[in-house]
Structure 1
């Protein structure tokens, strides 16, 4: 939804009531007025759309094993944590930001893991590089410019998420399901890669075969 500035005349008592409610909800006066009008007119605001997606994700991950959902620190951010089966069980942090703007890109997922181990950091970079190239091979054609938007840094993998291609898959339920599936598969592959049960080549071949089967059954996002 586009945002514009309008000049309207309101009763002072109504503005005071809106301000009190906005303060309770932790949002701005404009945001509160938008919510009130959207509820009255049965129109979903970007914030409501994001909130619905997050609610579905919280419900999904609350039943998933080895995941923790942190309380929301803002209307557009949700953080999910998982522990890596590695020495000292370091925490993998999945920070999801959903965009208010209605565009092809709906959000950004940042996967981070802090470690002082040079061996683990090298392993993470190796996996992130493998994962990024694998997505590019199998998903590139689905993205603008035939390029999957991802970035790699020390202990960090960032991926821009796009709206599902089909209109029927863009509901809050379907979008949240697609994001959850992406995080679950990413987390599974990361843990398998770091377990080091096979050689890197064997592990990559196995994971890529499994990834191909995964994307055939799930919504691309």
Structure 2
């Protein structure tokens, strides 16, 4: 959606109210006015589409997930408890792109823990997950699967297949399924942490079942 500069004459009281609301929504005055006008004329903006996608993702998440307050229309955070000592929390942060062609969004996975042992195990899981992605999806990405790993963190970019028109439901289902699969695999990996080979095999089997369902957003 292209944007241009326009001059508007507005009452000071209206601008003050708009600014207060924009601040509470972590957005700009111009963006909020654009959204209000778009809704008035029933025009679908990227921000509105993002909100609808996030609402659908939230509906897809089962009871083990908890949605956190959204810092902006373009972002959503979900957390899930890990069945492990110290009771760490897994956090999934989703950031959507304004243009849903090409790069659809980015997922950041992180953990709140100070345990070096736990961080080491998480890094081992992320390395396993990265190997699975490279094994099954590398042929789709000429420059490699778009992920990054750091200490206790994993980042993954999502892309729409070329020349595809994805619906909000397509995007929500794809991202929701990816998060659900990863979360289940993390739980499975830690449930079998005493036997690393068994843990790796079970995670691989679960990931393969996920792929067989069909992947819309890569």
TM-score (norm 1): 0.85
The answer to whether residue 28 in structure 2 is matched with residue 28 in structure 1 is yes
Output the CA distance in 2 between the equivalents of 1:191 and 1:45: 37
C-alpha spacing 1:167/1:38, structure 2 compared with 1 (3 Å): farther
**Runs of 4 or more consecutive aligned structure 1 residues displaced over 6 Å after TM superposition:** none
Output the CA distance in 1 between the equivalents of 2:208 and 2:139: 14
Superposition deviation, residue 163 in structure 1 = 2.4
Partner of residue 119 from structure 1, selected from 114, 117, 120: 117
Q: Secondary structure at the match of 1:148?
A: coil
Output the CA distance in 2 between the equivalents of 1:177 and 1:102: 15
Does the aligned pair in 1 maintain the 2:74–2:95 contact within 8 Å?
A: yes
Paired residue for 2:43? 43
Paired residue for 1:92? 90
C-alpha spacing 1:193/1:20, structure 2 compared with 1 (3 Å): same
Output the CA distance in 1 between the equivalents of 2:111 and 2:183: 12
Please give the per-residue CA displacement for 1:63-111, whole angstroms capped at 9, x wherever unaligned. x122111121222221101111110211111111112245411211111
52-61 vs 195-204, which deviates more?
195-204
Does the aligned pair in 2 maintain the 1:164–1:219 contact within 8 Å?
A: no
Pairwise CA RMSD: 2.3
Does the aligned pair in 1 maintain the 2:90–2:109 contact within 8 Å?
A: yes
Does the aligned pair in 2 maintain the 1:181–1:218 contact within 8 Å?
A: no
Q: Secondary structure at the match of 1:112?
A: strand
Paired residue for 1:179? 175
Output the CA distance in 1 between the equivalents of 2:77 and 2:36: 28
Output the CA distance in 1 between the equivalents of 2:150 and 2:211: 25
In the alignment, structure 2 segments of 5+ residues that lack a partner are: none
Output the CA distance in 1 between the equivalents of 2:109 and 2:17: 37
C-alpha spacing 1:74/1:36, structure 2 compared with 1 (3 Å): closer
Please give the per-residue CA displacement for 1:97-141, whole angstroms capped at 9, x wherever unaligned. 112245411211111113222222111111101101111111122
C-alpha spacing 1:19/1:219, structure 2 compared with 1 (3 Å): farther
Paired residue for 1:211? 207
Does the aligned pair in 2 maintain the 1:19–1:29 contact within 8 Å?
A: no
C-alpha spacing 1:171/1:103, structure 2 compared with 1 (3 Å): closer
Does the aligned pair in 2 maintain the 1:77–1:97 contact within 8 Å?
A: yes
Paired residue for 1:83? 81
Please give the per-residue CA displacement for 1:13-55, whole angstroms capped at 9, x wherever unaligned. 4x86466346335342321332244335543211111111111
Q: Secondary structure at the match of 2:66?
A: strand
TM-score (norm 2): 0.86
